[in-house]
Amino acid sequence: MADTIASLTLSSVRLPLVTAISDAKVLTGRQKPMREVMFLFAEITTESGDGGIGFSYSKRAGGPGQYAHACEIAPEVIGEDPSDIGKLWTKLVWAGASVGRSGLSVQALAAIDVALWDLKAKRAGLGLAKLIGAHRDGVRTYNTSGGFLQAPIEEVVDNALRSLQAGIGGIKIKVGQPDWRTDLKRLTAVREAIGDDVPLMVDANQQWDRATATRMGRRLGEFDLVWIEEPLDAYDVEGHAEVARRLDTPIATGEMLTSVGEHLKLIDAGAADVLQPDAPRVGGITQFLKVAAHAEQRHLDLAPHFAMEIHLHLAAAYPGNDPWVEHFEWLDPLFDERLETRDGRMWLPDRPGLGITLSDQARAWTVAKTEFVR
């Protein structure tokens, strides 16, 4: 007889950031500085005592909504066979059908989906990447957390050099300031500090219009960038395709999209040279793998957004070109384990599943918790 899900515990965890974070959207008044990240954790236990953990997250807004929706649909998995992950994803999305199949609704069920994959890998005695089918044991990694716009350029340079010393392979900094000359000065300082051979990326966080993105992209050509990220509004598919055609520097985008269908539109339009899907945002690992399959068929580079604890495994299992994974140390306090960076790559842990366990600090930052039992 198949083992079944005996309990599911959902926790809403508020992670405070040491420094209020600003990107281009803050400097132009679209958003306020980010001071915290809200996490939704799902912990599944089976009748036989096996367990899995997964998470989703929300920045600036949406955390309480994710938690509330997850609590509404969570009873649907109790008593089910946890191995039937695709079936359970469909059951959960239909349980919340009135709020759609993208956005907050799938972000809420993503935490459960990730926990099911973690459980499945643990029961097999494998790391998640090995369960899916790893193509590499380490993935190229670049740091983002040290390059935000609230930091003076001297701090950004110091952060970049420390990241390289820690074995991280590339550096990404934020651009999109009101005065474009400030962007060029900051970028020049970073490139001079890290040298010509270190991979360097920039992220405009949806700041520019099409004409500005084209002009800035041409100005940035001298820096030999790996990519220019989100030059336009995330949902301007035609605009991203137009800019991608005009520039030699690759265009990266996709992190804000919350469904497979949205990613397919981006891919079909030729709007991304580097696709940046986010498993917690797109509905979990089940949906991420669908996006990745389409990206590989179009020979796109892959660079999943944020949540390196999940995305390291998914990038390692990508059959296409050697992908990138984004390094953020923000989540470190939430887990007892640390991921290894060495020789420009992030390496798969030898622990089963995702290889993470919640820390005492994560428990202390929990603001709401609900358990569902059989």
**pLDDT digits (tens), the chain, 374 positions:** 689 999 999 999 999 999 998 898 898 888 899 999 999 999 999 999 999 999 999 998 889 999 999 999 999 999 999 999 999 999 999 998 888 888 999 999 999 999 999 999 999 999 999 999 999 999 999 999 988 999 999 999 999 999 999 999 999 999 999 999 999 999 999 999 999 999 999 999 999 999 999 999 999 999 999 999 999 999 999 999 999 999 999 999 999 999 999 999 999 999 999 999 999 999 999 999 999 999 999 999 999 999 999 999 999 999 989 999 999 999 999 999 999 999 999 999 999 999 999 999 999 999 999 999 98
Stated length of the chain: 374
| % of the chain residues with pLDDT over 70 | 100
From the list 69, 120, 130, 174, the catalytic residue is: 174
Cα dihedral 140/58/361/311 (nearest 10): -20
User: Is 87 assigned to a binding site?
Assistant: no
CATH code for the part of the protein at 129-347: 3.20.20.120
Indicate where the chain has its CATH 3.20.20.120 domain(s). 129-347
322 annotated to bind ligand = no
87 noted as active-site residue: no
C-alpha dihedral sign at 115, 272, 23, 99 = negative
Return residue ranges of the chain for CATH 3.30.390.10.
5-125+360-373
Q: Is 81 annotated to bind ligand?
A: no
Q: Return the H-helix or E-strand segment holding 307.
A: none
Q: Which of 120, 305, 311, 313 is catalytic?
A: 305
Residue 59 annotated in ligand binding: yes
* CATH code for the structural domain at 5-125+360-373: 3.30.390.10
Are 374 and 79 in contact by the 8 Å Cβ rule? The answer is yes
135 among known catalytic residues: no
CA 296 to chain centre: 18
